[in-house]
Amino acid sequence: MIRLLIVDDSALVRQVLTEILSAEPDIEVVGTAADPFLAREKIKALRPDVLTLDVEMPRMDGLTFLENLMRLHPLPVVMVSSLTERGAEVTLDALALGAVDFVTKPKLEVARGLREYGRELAEKVRAAAQVRVRPPAARRAAPPTAPATEAPRARSFRTTDRLIAIGASTGGTEAIREVLERMPADAPGTVIVQHIPAAFSRAFAQRMDRLSPMAVCEAHDGQPIRPGHAYIAPGDRHLRVVSDGARWVCRLDDGPAVNRHRPSVDVLFRSVATHAGRNAVGVLLTGMGEDGARGLLELRNAGAPTVVQDEASSIVWGMPGAAVKLGAAQEVQPVGAIASRLLELAAR
């Protein structure tokens, strides 16, 4: 049984989440708390395995509580955040502080909306229970790798030379950050699918743009893919790469979910395998489920080098692990080494 503590200032949300999650045969809601001070005492008394934590809390905001928790008593945390621009920024901050994942709280009809999220929330609690939580300082103190500026660059990259395709899910916002921070400003054009709500993908792209030497944006339909630029799929649309003469362009569509996701990593990888083939490099980062594993295999079969994040540095080794089982991964690398390795493979 997974012992769960629900921390939320709304009595309605506490009640609904308790009903939803108590109905799962492997989850026991051992308690609830209306604010971080009560939560602190209940953590000591009840010793939960996982917390769900509201972003906006009275007396102490959720981020401050999360930072203290990760420093003093690290536990897997699933954030429950509002589907707003402010909620997106705070949630991304929470993931940077060590939260495992998040679900979004609807603006209207909260009880009905949270019930509809019941399956997703239960899955994320289960995934969180399997995570070995490491505070941000410990995660960033991984074995040092050469800065991206020191990575081999045998030639200048041109639009038709190389394309990098990245897929990620649970834990991916921070894994993608670690990769993009190490990429040089003239890196090959990069296309990215991260499982994220539509309201959050633009804020995520803007954050990556501030942190990366590359120019990072939310992808637009028909947008040319250029060196030194990274394109992140909008949270509710599939991203494909297609050829347009001697260049590649982004194509977005509202097609049905694939592997229960839109955008889907498999959709991106399959398009890259078709239109770029051996000119691409594919990488699958941390994430729950199997999305991207079969697409990565298609990339490998098309002649593209393929890399997956290793289990030790992944929050959840679902997607990368599935790729390894399929034989889709040529290499398994810690997240801190992936950027330099991608540049080496792209320079061949």
Cis peptide upstream of residue 152 (ω within 30 degrees of 0): no
The residue from 291, 313, 314, 340 that is catalytic is: 291
Quick one: DSSP state of residue 281? E
The H or E element spanning position 36 is helix 36-46
Rounded Cα distance, 242 and 320, in Å: 25
Q: Which residues contact 48 (CB under 8 A, 6 or more apart)?
A: 3, 4, 5, 30, 31, 42, 75
The residue from 81, 169, 264, 340 that is catalytic is: 169
Indicate the residue type of 270: R
The residue from 8, 82, 101, 195 that is catalytic is: 195
What is the distance in angstroms between the CA of the first residue and the CA of the last residue of the chain? 50
Q: At what angle do helices 85-97 and 198-211 cross, to 10 degrees?
A: 60
Strands 238-244 and 247-253 come out as antiparallel
Rounded Cα distance, 342 and 331, in Å: 11
The first and second tokens of residue 265, run together, are: 């990593």
DSSP three-state, residue 265: helix
The first and second tokens of residue 326, run together, are: 């399929």
Residue 173's closest CA among 199, 148, 205? 205
195 is catalytic: yes
Rounded Cα distance, 347 and 339, in Å: 12
Q: Which residues are catalytic?
A: 169, 195, 291
